[in-house]
């Protein structure tokens, strides 16, 4: 079931779960305060924080070129550690995006 967001007069956002199409326009909080549905809060998304650092096999190089890749990424302004196998290790989604862009790579599955 989808999660719907409601905002109180003080700006507190409350998440509630309702069947699709059954969410009311407003709810009453546990403290008795009225909270109206907030479409802007529902449209916000945040990048995942779990799964980082990420060793990327797809943008790796051969093991003997790992030093060249580290130097190249540092020179391009995106210092990146490279594993002994030649795979870049990205610290977060933004770091990954910058490093891939600096090398001219596009990851269509990541929407970057």
Question: What residue segments make up the domains of the chain, in order of their start?
Answer: 3-42, 54-105
What is the predicted pLDDT for the residue at 112?
46
What is the predicted pLDDT for the residue at 109?
67
Write out residues in the chain with pLDDT < 50, as ranges: 112
What is the predicted pLDDT for the residue at 6?
93
Answer yes or no: are the C-beta atoms of 26 and 35 closer than 8 Å.
yes
What is the predicted pLDDT for the residue at 47?
58
Answer yes or no: are the C-beta atoms of 95 and 78 closer than 8 Å.
yes
14-33 pLDDT tens trace: 999 999 989 999 999 988 99
Q: Which two tokens stand for residue 109?
A: 């599955």
């Amino acid at each position: 079931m989808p999660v719907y967001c409601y905002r109180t007069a003080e700006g507190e956002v409350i998440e509630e779960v309702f069947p699709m199409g059954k969410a009311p326009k407003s709810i009453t909080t546990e403290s008795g305060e009225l909270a109206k549905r907030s479409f802007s809060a529902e449209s916000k998304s945040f990048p995942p924080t779990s799964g980082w650092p990420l060793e990327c096999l797809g943008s790796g190089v051969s093991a003997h070129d790992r030093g060249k890749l580290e130097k190249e990424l540092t020179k391009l302004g995106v210092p990146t550690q490279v594993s002994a196998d030649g795979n870049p290790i990205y610290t977060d989604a933004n770091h990954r995006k910058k490093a891939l862009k600096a090398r001219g790579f596009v990851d269509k599955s990541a929407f970057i």
